[in-house]
Amino acid sequence: MKIQYSQLNKFLEQGYCSLGEIINQQKCRELLEFIKQTRDFEHGLFIEEEDFRANPQYTGVNPCPGRNILEGLDLSFIEQNPVLQSVLSELLGEEYSVVIKKVICGVPKKWIPDWALLEIDRLPVPNLGAFIKPQYRDITYFHGIDFHQDIIDYKNRLSDFITLYIYLDDVSELDSPLFIIPGSHIFGATTFPHSLISCGDASNSWLYSDNRGKSKFLQSNILTGTAGSTWFWHSCLLHGTQPTKLSQSRISLRYIIEKSRSSPSVLLDYVNSNLDGPLSLDNTRNDLNENGKSILRGNIINGNAKT
């Protein structure tokens, strides 16, 4: 099965591509049910405040080899999906490989203890891992996340990978859907937090500057969709989420997939050769201290000024 030319063209110009509902919905729902059965997904996720204060841990609190709920699960309904395989081969070469796959849970406010809510107040990256019981850190938990590029996690690495994102729930505008800024990959890698100024009356218009002298007006889109809806994007594409406005979680799958090391030139290389900026940074973020704790407040996607 060949990917539509127009879809790849979209990736070239806009830095992302929607594959629609390509993944079997029933199997997505079964996987979602399995995940939900593994723990008490409400208050029981969180450690006690005294335990947090005694030894706050801001790093090493996300899924990793040996602590990842997806390890050992049969995900062939995704990974052997013929449309997906064809698209990824075209983009990354036939020997593309998965760097990491994980479950992401968008956590509603009502689950989060008050003391932890104060800790994450107006943070640009409200990753909740620091407050989650160690045995449940096999999933990444967010209460939204400000606009970022996925290269943020890979300093000194080239933009030789894409992110694949699959909704397991039906996701409406209220369920913490992804916001993306099409075309924002154009300046390559820029340091987080990004220079994005909301423009005019429309809440989706932005002036994006690379802090190296270039800027561009862009518009954000919201990705709503049913279970099985799938997207992929360039590692320099700006995207993020607002916290869910409902009282239930939003559970999704996120893969980082790198290009084939054996193919000398793949479509991603062509996209990268058309970017007007660096493919790699030795410092991808300025928001953390040496312990991994955020030293900045302010969250652009939620409309809070930086302080």
C-beta of residue 215 within 8 angstroms of C-beta of residue 203: no
At 33, is the secondary structure helix, strand, or coil?
helix
In which element (H, E) is residue 30 found?
helix 25-37
Which region among 11-19, 188-196, 237-245, 292-300 touches ligand AKG (by CB under 6 A)? Answer: 237-245
Asked whether position 238 contacts ligand AKG by CB under 6 A, the answer is: no
How far apart CA 111 and CA 225 sit, in angstroms, is 24
> How distant is the alpha carbon of residue 10 from its chain centre?
19
At 215, is the secondary structure helix, strand, or coil?
strand
Q: Of 93 and 177, which has the nearer Cβ to ligand AKG?
A: 177
Among 190, 241, 272, 299, binds ligand AKG (CB under 6 A): 241
At 135, is the secondary structure helix, strand, or coil?
helix
Distance in Å, CB of 270 to ligand AKG, minimum? 24
C-beta of residue 198 within 8 angstroms of C-beta of residue 206: yes
Among 15, 63, 93, 106, binds ligand AKG (CB under 6 A): 106
Among 90, 119, 150, 169, binds ligand AKG (CB under 6 A): 150
Q: Which of these, 235, 45, 70, 245, lies nearest to 141 by C-alpha position?
A: 45
Asked whether position 284 contacts ligand AKG by CB under 6 A, the answer is: no
Which region among 39-47, 217-225, 236-244, 291-299 touches ligand AKG (by CB under 6 A)? Answer: 236-244
Distance in Å, CB of 175 to ligand AKG, minimum? 10
* DSSP one-letter code for 4: P
Q: Which of these, 189, 182, 174, 188, lies nearest to 206 by C-alpha position?
A: 182
Distance in Å, CB of 50 to ligand AKG, minimum? 29
Q: Of 96 and 192, which has the nearer Cβ to ligand AKG?
A: 192
How far apart CA 197 and CA 307 sit, in angstroms, is 15
Among 104, 123, 196, 256, binds ligand AKG (CB under 6 A): 104
Asked whether position 184 contacts ligand AKG by CB under 6 A, the answer is: no
Query: Based on the number of CB atoms within 10 Å of its own CB, is 50 exposed (0-12), middle (13-18) or buried (19 or more)?
Result: exposed
Give the chain's length.
307
Asked whether position 142 contacts ligand AKG by CB under 6 A, the answer is: yes
Peptide bond into 56 cis (omega under 30): no
Which region among 183-191, 222-230, 238-246, 276-284 touches ligand AKG (by CB under 6 A)? Answer: 238-246
Distance in Å, CB of 245 to ligand AKG, minimum? 13
Distance in Å, CB of 105 to ligand AKG, minimum? 8
Residues making contact with ligand AKG (CB under 6 A): 104, 106, 142, 145, 150, 176, 239-241, 252, 254
